[in-house]
Amino acid sequence: MFESLGDRLQSAVKKIRGYGKITEDNISEVTREIRLALLEADVNYKVVKEFIANVKEKALGEEVAKSLKPGEMFVKIVKDELVSLLGGEKADLYVDGNPSILMLVGLQGAGKTTMIGKLGLMLRKKYNKKPLLVACDVYRPAAIEQLKQIGRELNIEVYDEGKNDPVLIAKNAINYAKENKFNYVLLDTAGRLHIDEALMDELNNINTDVKPDEILLVVDSMTGQDAINVIEGFNNTLPLTGAILTKLDGDTRGGAALSIRHLTNIPIKFVGVSEKMDGIEPFYPERIATRILGMGDIMTMLEKAEEVIDQDEAMKTAKKLEQGKFDLEDFLSQLKQIKKLGPLENIIKMLPGVPKELKNVKVDPKDMAHIEAIILSMTPYERRHPEVLKATRKLRIAKGSGRSVEEVNRLLKQFEEMRKMIKQFKNGNFKMPF
């Protein structure tokens, strides 16, 4: 919906190419565009100001002036600057305590309770730890019940004392964890406003009494300019060791991440990426930078692809592509691989340089199933030689797949176009966006 910074950058780069040289004059229009895009991504106003000043200074510097491709250099400066603002490396979770105590804090509705479940599952599955979930939110109606249900679903034990004093619950839970040899204690606290003194005191008391190894602030990635007030509010009361960014599976750009990292220096440790309990990922600064820029998240896509794609199959297809051969059999196997990657629109979004009209395309999983049915109704010979498909064969295929002849035709046409594109790719005519 927003014109992404990626799109803005592309047009900016074209302009700079035209100038051949970056000057104070011609750059101001470009930096205005970047400024708008960053603000639309909810990056903090002050950070944007500083960012633009830095980019300007570097872009006008020696290196770029001498560069043969000032446009490309400029994009690189913008991205590098963003990554450095987000903090270079990813930060890991504290593991050495016995048990290690984690406390999650944040505003109401940020997603703390869900995140506790996700962390618990991750600790058990990936790290082979025994986590205990502790219900310290005694205020919100049914918050305890929510955690218990999550515990039941994941088969992870939940400690609760009903609506007792949260400080006491936390203390007792830790003793219980020690006795029963849990490796991790995850404290779920009630959502609260950073300006609510009484409730902030309560967190402070938990902190003094049980000394958590990690205090993680859970932040909704859709948060706007107020993010900085929230983060500073919590950070002033509690020694935060990290932050978790939730609901990143929405279409927000997550500029709040910059506020966290740059204005407070707290590392972001994890991000929440779906409503399912395995929807948690480590935070990679580089990736969020490309997301804020709207440049696509090719790294995440590649990683996902690596997890699900059959290497041998992929090699076979790659070879065929190289030879300029690509038939419906390959198309079918590609389709099956892609299906494993999840909803197609998610994949499209991760690709850099995809035109924005295409980014909003909704792909119905049923369409994919129809295409599969049509191809499967062809004989292997037909799949390898689609050119033999004439009226009667098409009619048979349509009947066999339960689709119409028009749909068969449409598929064949799309396939032909794809083939042409692949040939272009092979001949090196395919242009990368940057």
| 46: three-class secondary structure by DSSP | helix
The separation between the first and the last C-alpha atoms of the chain, rounded to the nearest angstrom, is 22
Question: Which residue of 57, 63, 92, 145 would you call a contact of other proteins, by CB under 8 A?
Answer: 145
Tell me, residue by residue from 149 to 188, as one string, x for binding to other proteins by CB under 8 A and - for no binding.
xx--x-----------------------------------
| Per CB under 8 A, 143 contacts other proteins | yes
Closest C-alpha among 73, 75, 50, 71 to residue 63: 73
Site string for other proteins, 324-363 (x = CB under 8 A): ---------------------x----------------x-
**Which of 100, 223, 317, 401: binder of other proteins (CB under 8 A)?**
223
Using alpha carbons, list the distances in angstroms from residue 244 to 190, 256, 303, 309, 420. 16, 11, 21, 29, 45
Closest CB 182 distance from other proteins, rounded Å: 21
- Rounded Cα–Cα distance for residues 146 and 102 (Å): 19
> Applying CB under 8 A, does 252 fall inside the site for other proteins?
yes
Q: Does 2 bind other proteins (CB under 8 A)?
A: yes
Query: Cα separation of 173 and 158, whole Å?
Result: 10
Nearer to other proteins among residue 20 and residue 224 (C-beta): 224
Site for other proteins in 9-38 (CB under 8 A): 36
- Spatial strand order of the sheet with 158-159 comes to 158-159, 131-136, 184-189, 100-106, 214-220, 242-246, 268-272, 280-282
Give dist(CA 114, CA 249) in Å, integer: 14
Alpha helices in 60-111 (DSSP H): 62-66, 70-86
**327 φ, ψ (degrees, to nearest 5):** -115, -175
Q: Indicate the DSSP class of residue 428.
A: T
List the x/- string, 90-109, binding to other proteins by CB under 8 A: -----------------xxx
Question: Under rule CB under 8 A, which residues in 110-139 are in contact with other proteins?
Answer: 110-111, 113, 117, 139
86/271 Cα distance (integer angstroms): 14
Residue list 264-303, contact with other proteins (CB under 8 A): 275
The H-or-E segment that residue 116 falls in is helix 112-127
Q: Binder to other proteins among 229, 404, 414, 424 (CB under 8 A)? A: 229
Instruction: Return the beta strands (E) in 280-368 as ranges.
Output: 280-282
Q: What is d(CA 373, CA 388) in angstroms, rounded to the nearest whole number? A: 19
Q: Is 142 in the site for other proteins (CB under 8 A)?
A: yes
Can residue 141 be called a binding residue for other proteins (CB under 8 A)? Answer: yes
225 binds other proteins (CB under 8 A): yes
What is the nearest approach in angstroms of other proteins to the Cβ of residue 355?
18
Residues that bind other proteins (CB under 8 A): 1-2, 36, 39-42, 45, 107-111, 113, 117, 139-143, 145-150, 153, 193-195, 220, 222-227, 229-230, 233, 247, 249-253, 255-256, 275, 345, 362
